[in-house]
Amino acid sequence: MPDFEETGPDSEQREAGRKLFAGECRFMLGCVAMEQLPVPGLPEVAFAGRSNVGKSSLINALTGRKTLARTSNTPGRTREINFFEFENRLRLVDMPGYGFAKVPKPMVEGWTQLIHDYLRGRAVLRRLCVLVDSRHGLKANDEQLMTMLDKAAVNYRVILTKTDKLGGGGIRKVEAAVTEALKKHPAAVPVPLSTSSEKGLGIEDLRAELASFAEPG
C-alpha cells in the first residue's frame, strides 16, 4: 500500500504516475463472464461505482485520452469488465456500473454477480477504486459493496467524483462524512480522495497512487 495516501504524493511520485498513464495503452478485451477473464499476470487496479457516477470520465481524465472509456448520459452503458494494459506494467479494469440502469433486472443482477465474483477471486487485484458522486455521498449499495470487500479483504479507496459541482465547504463536509463512515470498513483506505474530471482536481494524486502498484519500469 502506498505510504503517501493520507499526505499526498511528492513531485517524483506524481511524475512517475504521469509517465505511466501517458505511455502506451492497449485495450485487451471485454468480459461478460468469469471464464473470459484474462490469465492473471500484471498487477490490476479496478474502478467500480454506481451507474452514472462519472467513472468513464474519470478514467479518461486519468489517462489523458478522451475516448479510452466510453461516456454516456445513459446509466448502465458499460456492460462488460473491460481490461486495458499500460506499458506492460499495469492493467486498468473498468467495471459495469451498479445500481440504477435502464436495462432488464436480470441483466443488472448478472453484472452485479460478475463484479462480485471478480473482486472476490482476483489475486492480482491491488486496488479497487470505489467511485462515489460527491453530491450524493455514500448510498446503500456502496455500503453493501464495501462490506463485501471488507469480508473478502480486498483493499479499496473511495474516490469522490464531480467535486467541481460543490463549493469548498461542501467538499469538506462530504469528505468528513465519508471519512467517518470509513472507520467501520477495515479494508478501506481511511480517507477518500476528492476528484474532478472536468477541473483536473486530484487526478495527479490518483495517477501517482495507482502507478505505485505497477511493475517497475
Residue 78 pLDDT > 70, yes or no? no
Residue 74 lies in a domain: yes
| pLDDT level of residue 101 (50, 70, 90 thresholds) | low
CATH number at residue 77: 3.40.50.300
Lowest mean pLDDT of 12-21, 28-37, 124-133, 183-192, name the range. 28-37
At residue 138, the pLDDT reads: 95
DSSP three-state, residue 82: strand
Query: What is the side-by-side order of every strand in the sheet holding 90-94?
Result: 25-31, 81-86, 90-94, 44-49, 125-133, 156-161, 193-194
Q: In this structure, are residues 53 and 142 in contact, taking their beta carbons and an 8 Å threshold?
A: no
Residue 145 lies in a domain: yes
Out of 33-42, 70-79, 114-123, 202-211, the most confident range is 202-211
Residue 133 pLDDT > 50, yes or no? yes
Range of the domain at 162: 11-32+44-211
**Cell 502506451, residue located:** 24
* Number of structural domains found in the chain: 1
Residue 60 lies in a domain: yes
Residue 72 pLDDT > 50, yes or no? no
Residue 165 lies in a domain: yes
Cα separation, 136 vs 71, whole angstroms: 20
Mean pLDDT of the chain: 86
First-last CA distance in the chain? 18
Residue 209 pLDDT > 80, yes or no? yes
Residue 24 pLDDT > 70, yes or no? yes
Burial classification of residue 67, based on how many CB atoms lie within 10 Å of its CB (0-12 exposed, 13-18 middle, 19 or more buried): exposed
Cα separation, 169 vs 116, whole angstroms: 35
Residue 72 lies in a domain: yes
Q: What is the 3-state secondary structure (H, E, C) of 116-185?
A: HHHHHHCCCEEEEEEEEECCCCCCHHHHHHHHHHHHHCCCEEEEEECHHHCCHHHHHHHHHHHHHHHCCC
| pLDDT level of residue 71 (50, 70, 90 thresholds) | very low
Burial classification of residue 103, based on how many CB atoms lie within 10 Å of its CB (0-12 exposed, 13-18 middle, 19 or more buried): middle
Residue 217 lies in a domain: no
At residue 108, the pLDDT reads: 64
At residue 120, the pLDDT reads: 82
Residue 216 pLDDT > 50, yes or no? yes
Residue 145 pLDDT > 80, yes or no? yes
Residue 98 pLDDT > 70, yes or no? yes
Residue 38 lies in a domain: no
Residue 39 lies in a domain: no
